Amino acid sequence: MATTRSSSIRVLVVDDSALYRQAICNILRTEPEIEVVGLAGDGVDALEKIQALDPDILTLDVRMPDMDGIQVLREMNRRGMRPKAIMVSSHTSEGAQVTTDALLEGAFDFILKPSGANLEENRRTLRDALREKIGAFHDSRRPRAAPRRSNSARAPTADASAYVQRSMGVGQRCQAVLIATSTGGPAALKEVLPQLPGDLDVPVLIVQHMPARYTSALAGRLDQMCALTVKEARDGMRLEAGLALLAPGGRQMRFSRHAGTVLARVTDSPPENGCRPSADYMFRAASAAFDGAVLCVVLTGMGRDGFLGCEESKAAGAAILAQDEDSATVYGMPKAVVEGGLADRVLPLVHIGRAITHHVKSNRT
């Protein structure tokens, strides 16, 4: 990250615990590219200081009295306030649900409050999490590259219908849709999945980088918004048309085929790319289970998870769809796929759901 003053990230720390406020503040003040512009002990104070101090980002405690983190975020959205929020969540089920709601409302990302007894280890864990998330935010602020008109994968902006109607592979079978995402993913899934019809005649399989508990909360919220049935995957679940399965946090998802039926298998296989669930793991397993007759969709997220899985899947006959740079919260995962020459289409988020539906209906055997 850059260390000049002009590129510094202005942070407001919001937490009802004076101990946590100071702990986060102390960590951030050791980072030369970060300027802590203020502290707030509750939601009302936070809104006042956002208005007065104009931070770039705030660390926002999920659970606070009177006005909790999600209420602050919704009020920020209502007022059109520009800062992004990194939610600071507990490991509890209640914390998972509120954090998930915040991510669906557009929070940038979240970190978990360390819960161990070793104070020094807790500090390192908190420091590493803050560095990672604020580093991703820093990367997301870099100037967007000018559109490359020679890249045929990029759809023209003049005719939205052309985005959807152009096939990614005429005659290519599609027996499953695979979606991978990370930072910014819950809000992206909230945009894409409700566009898919309930009678979509293939299963949808999703990897969202999240820990345990959080994927269950996310699946529940998405199910309420979608015509599809959305569930967190359990071992032995049968893959069916119109069913979207979200890989469980902290586990891997693969598949097995028995007498024409494909089952989800939830495993404790090691992380890949530091991720569990991993998109590479899921893409590879699904492509094998469906003999390459899949559509791989890579949405916003930091890192390169999904690239190798797309590479293997494309070699087996899969089609690849990636989110474009301008609509991605963090252009990491889709960038790897696009710059690796794997993407058949590169689309704005708003058109991806309809493009998926068109591809499935046009390429079904």
By annotation, the residues acting in catalysis are: 182, 209, 305
Nearest in space to 92 (alpha carbons), one of 246, 247, 217 = 217
Closest CA to 56 of 88, 87, 23, 34: 34
- CB half-sphere exposure, 351, CA atoms < 13 A: 24
* Cβ atoms of residues 109 and 100 within 8 Å: no
Retrieve residue 46's tokens. 């936070």
Q: Which of 72, 55, 56, 54 is nearest to 64 (CA)?
A: 72
Q: Which residues contact 171 (CB under 8 A, 6 or more apart)?
A: 363
Q: Which residues contact 254 (CB under 8 A, 6 or more apart)?
A: 264, 265, 267, 269, 281, 282, 285, 286, 289
Q: Report the Cα–Cα distance between both ends of the chain, in Å, rounded.
A: 49
Q: Please calculate the CA angle 145-345-273 and round it to the nearest 5 degrees.
A: 75
Strand partners, 319: 295
Residue 356 burial (C-beta neighbours within 10 Å; 0-12, 13-18, 19+): buried
Structure tokens at 25: 């503040």
In degrees, rounded to 5, the angle at the alpha carbon of residue 60 between the alpha carbons of residues 55 and 63 is 155
Structure tokens at 50: 């956002």
Q: What angle do CA 113, 114, 120 make, to 5 degrees?
A: 135
